[in-house]
Structure 1
Amino acid sequence: MLTITQALVDQIVAHARKDHPDEACGVVAGPAGTDRPERFIPMLNAAMSPTFYEFDSGDLLKLYREMDDRDEEPVVIYHSHTATEAYPSRTDISYANEPGAHYVLVSTADTDDAGPFQFRSFRIVEGEVTEEQVEIVEAY
């Protein structure tokens, strides 16, 4: 189960809406070993595409060094789908290389700036996708 604050959900959804019609992507880091997402880190979609996202390799290297220095790990890896449901695509599954992370997908397919959206979380381990419950809390 993913437990996440309302403030972080709001930031992820706002990023997805801001980048629409391109896919948005980013990370929420947390203290190593806690499974507690705390630090919102929006990233640039280097692909700048409505159907695909890609972290810039230089930005990603910098992020992992920063997380290492802060004793953090990627607790949530998120991206948006702009034309389909919030479910991992074959490409998403093939690029999922953090078995301990929660993969959050936000669908902005049927939305405008204030409309409905889908917010779902998955575990992706060795190509196996398992949807998990999301508990949204005010604080930890």
Structure 2
Amino acid sequence: MLKIPHNIYDDLIAHARADFPIEACGILGGIDGAVSAIFRMANTDRSNEHFMMDPKEQFAVVKELRSRGLAMLAVYHSHPESPARPSEEDIRLALTPGVSYVIVSLAGAEPDVKSFRIVDGVVEPEPIEIVE
């Protein structure tokens, strides 16, 4: 289960809306499933169907997480025009072990945020708890 503070949850949605119509992406950090940091990243592909993070930017975020005693808990991205479920490409590219994959969908009237664990191509939904 991912525990996401309300302000970070709101920032996930704000990031997805700000980058619309391209996919927004970033990293959530924290400890033991409790998210305490969000790092907005640039989608270097500038696409509405997939995302790519700059390796240098990713390295800087991982370094920052470590300096703060945090771990990478999740990779997030938005689906501007499709549901909050992993695409075939999302599943194929889910190569970081031990992290969650959070998807923010803007396809409906209201944003939909869901989390998944993806291991060896197997997708398992993961509960999200919004905390104060």
What's the TM-score, normalizing by structure 2?
0.92
Structure 1's consecutive aligned runs of 4 or more residues displaced over 6 angstroms after TM superposition are none
2:117 is the counterpart of 1:123: yes
Counterpart CA distance in 2 for 1:136 and 1:67 is 21
Cα distance between partner residues in 2 of 1:23 and 1:87? 14
- CA positional deviation for 1:4: 1.2
Partners in 2 of 1:43 and 1:54 — Cα distance?
Answer: 9
Alignment-derived partner of residue 16 in structure 2: 16
2:45 paired residue number: 47
Aligned position for 2:131: 137
Pair 1:66 & 2:60 matched: no
Matched residue of 2:35: which SS? coil
The answer for unaligned runs of 5 or more in structure 1 is none
Using the size of structure 1 for normalisation, the TM-score is 0.88
Q: CA deviation at 1:83?
A: 1.2
- Paired residues for 1:48-127 under 5 Å: 48-110=46-108, 115-127=109-121
Quick one: percent identity of the two aligned structures?
38
**Superimposed CA distance per residue, residues 46-81 of structure 1 (whole angstroms, 9 cap, x where no aligned partner):** 111111111011111222222233332111211000
Do 1:99 and 1:123's aligned partners in 2 also have CA atoms closer than 8 Å? no
